[in-house]
Structure 1
Amino acid sequence: MSLSIELFTEDDIPHAMQLVEQAGWNQLPADWHRVLGLAPNGCFVARLDGTLAGTVTTICYGTDLAWIGMMLVDHRLRRLGIGRRLMERAIAELQSRSIRSIQLDATPVGKTLYDQLGFRTELAFHRWHRPGNASNTPHYPNRSTGDSQGALAENHCTLDRVTFGAHRSELLARLAESSQAVTCPDGSFGLLRAGRIADYLGPISATEQSAAPIVSELTARTDRDLFWDIPSQNTGAVYLATLHGFSPVRTLFRMTIGSAPTPHWATMFALADPALG
């Protein structure tokens, strides 16, 4: 058997979506296009005898932080070292760019490999889920929120940089293009976008005062199943999720190589996605 690691191209997206469906993940083709647009030289596929067998993506947020995501291996081809080869290529690519730290959000299945590759676990957090057609979602007065689609202002990116710990305004701009947004004058914002099996709430970078109306407005805009990835340190977000009919359904692990920027957990009410940070 011949295994090669090659650059991911848009022609690989249909085969990558087969792996997404096989794994039960929530990505759409638009998610692959978005990452490829941000990092055309940082995403890779594994081919076994010419057939796509796995994927991995990377995104750099300046030189302080890079993110690894979309690490998928065909279930029928596991335990052949494909995931390790993909990860080694991704890490080597990022280290060649002198990135200070590399992070990822791991599933329990992938965590053992990442431990072996030198990642350390920073924290565990949960994906929360609200079933579709929920009728028990409270609605807060919306005096402080405004609607937008396709753009976030400079003050929103400024708050997000403090929240996330690194500059990711280009990612936010691309996410906003395909999301519903609620924004506030204080720089707080939240996004809601479609997913393959559920809509996705996040990212949300918000002050304590603005978070509740943002969550209320966005959750009221969809009748589909809804996912929300919440850092465990933000107890206010956990409270809001419970209030809006969500329950935890999956544990993930944030893992790091190097010295990562410190997030401001008090304003991080939702991740952008485990594949993005």
Structure 2
Amino acid sequence: MTVRRLTLDDLDDCSRLAKDRGWLPERHKWRLLFEIGEVYGMDAPDGDGLAATNILTRYGDDHAVISMVLTASRFGRQGLARRLMEHVLEQAGGRTVSLYATEHGRPLYERLGFRVVGRAAKHTGVFKGEPSGRTRPATEADLGRILELDAELFGTDRSAALRRMFGFGEQVRIAEGGFGQCWRNDDNTVIGPVVARDEETARALIGDLALHAGGEVRMDLDLAKAGLVGWAGEHGIGSPWEVSMMVRGGELPGDRSCQFLPYMQALG
């Protein structure tokens, strides 16, 4: 099977492949990844959709994120995931590459030179709390300020993703020394990214975004931030599902103490 660059014309088949593996279709998320990333795949030899996918999202000249590593169930254990990973790593050039890995996928990534650098967990629930009074809705006029702060604290250029927040997300909020977004996925509203100079500001942003969203929200929390994990639990956000944070060829960028929630696991 030949690896090819996918286009939005392949979106239906990407969603079908996700459902085949027990994932949600997440068409809204896939569209964003097509816009800012490089989506690769292999056509199924039986002519029925895609056999496998993988996405590379570049952050400047020094970092990239891999995501949506999917193989159709009927083509499992045939080495397709490894072939696509090797292709995408070649495309990444000399960049440090990171990803979030399930326990099922982690052995493959370790064989390809990735190492575990932390643990994160998806937490969900209905947020219980009051508005902080410290944040406000952002507008596109605030974009320059957001990009400047993110470049400093995230440590590499993800401006292409951040510029799309105002069209992709439900709301962007800012505070003195921080910003955050919430966006609607198939079954809940995801809070992320959240970047702030201190945890108190991050909590204010997260809480206000969750209250704006209403209903069930999702937060992908770094388990090393025990205080934030505990705070989320006290406010109704639990049911963790853990994954490994992995990196190859260097270190994760920026000041991790100021990176409170990722944009999504697919974007780091």
TM-score by length of 2: 0.91
Query: Per the alignment, do residues 236 and 153 of structure 1 end up closer, same or farther by CA in structure 2, a change over 3 Å counting?
Result: farther
Q: Deviations over 1:94-147 (max 9, x none)?
A: 12xx32x111111111111111111111111111111xxx4x6011431x2111
Query: Per the alignment, do residues 276 and 76 of structure 1 end up closer, same or farther by CA in structure 2, a change over 3 Å counting?
Result: same
The equivalent residue for 1:111 is 106
Q: Number of aligned pairs?
A: 264
The equivalent residue for 2:154 is 164
Q: Please say if 1:257 is aligned against 2:248.
A: yes
What pairs with 1:1-277 in structure 2 (closer than 5 Å)? 3-26=1-24, 28-39=26-37, 42-49=38-45, 50=47, 51-95=49-93, 98-99=94-95, 101-130=96-125, 134=126, 137-142=128-133, 144-148=134-138, 152-179=142-169, 180-184=171-175, 186-206=176-196, 207-277=198-268
TM-score by length of 1: 0.88
Q: Which runs of 5+ in 1 are unaligned?
A: none
**Helix, strand or coil at the partner of 1:254:** strand
Query: Per the alignment, do residues 76 and 192 of structure 1 end up closer, same or farther by CA in structure 2, a change over 3 Å counting?
Result: same
Greater mean deviation of Cα atoms: 74-83 or 236-245: 236-245
Identity %, equivalent residues: 26
Structure 1 counterpart of 2:229, which letter?
A: V
**Helix, strand or coil at the partner of 1:108:** coil
Q: How far apart are the structure 2 equivalents of 1:24 and 1:195?
A: 16
Q: Which runs of 5+ in 2 are unaligned?
A: none
**Helix, strand or coil at the partner of 2:88:** helix
Query: Per the alignment, do residues 232 and 188 of structure 1 end up closer, same or farther by CA in structure 2, a change over 3 Å counting?
Result: same
Q: How far apart are the structure 2 equivalents of 1:195 and 1:210?
A: 25
Moved over 4 A (4+): 149-152
Greater mean deviation of Cα atoms: 59-68 or 238-247: 238-247
Query: Per the alignment, do residues 47 and 211 of structure 1 end up closer, same or farther by CA in structure 2, a change over 3 Å counting?
Result: same
**Helix, strand or coil at the partner of 1:181:** strand
RMSD of aligned residue pairs (Cα, Å): 1.9
Q: How far apart are the structure 1 equivalents of 2:146 and 2:231?
A: 21
Greater mean deviation of Cα atoms: 5-14 or 221-230: 221-230
Please say if residues 26 and 195 of structure 1, whose CA atoms lie closer than 8 Å, have aligned partners that are also in contact.
no
Q: How far apart are the structure 1 equivalents of 2:130 and 2:90?
A: 48
Q: How far apart are the structure 1 equivalents of 2:141 and 2:14?
A: 29
Q: How far apart are the structure 2 equivalents of 1:267 and 1:70?
A: 26
Shift of 1:150: 5.4
Q: How far apart are the structure 2 equivalents of 1:151 and 1:202?
A: 20
Shift of 1:271: 1.0
Structure 1 counterpart of 2:17, which letter?
A: L
Please say if residues 129 and 248 of structure 1, whose CA atoms lie closer than 8 Å, have aligned partners that are also in contact.
yes
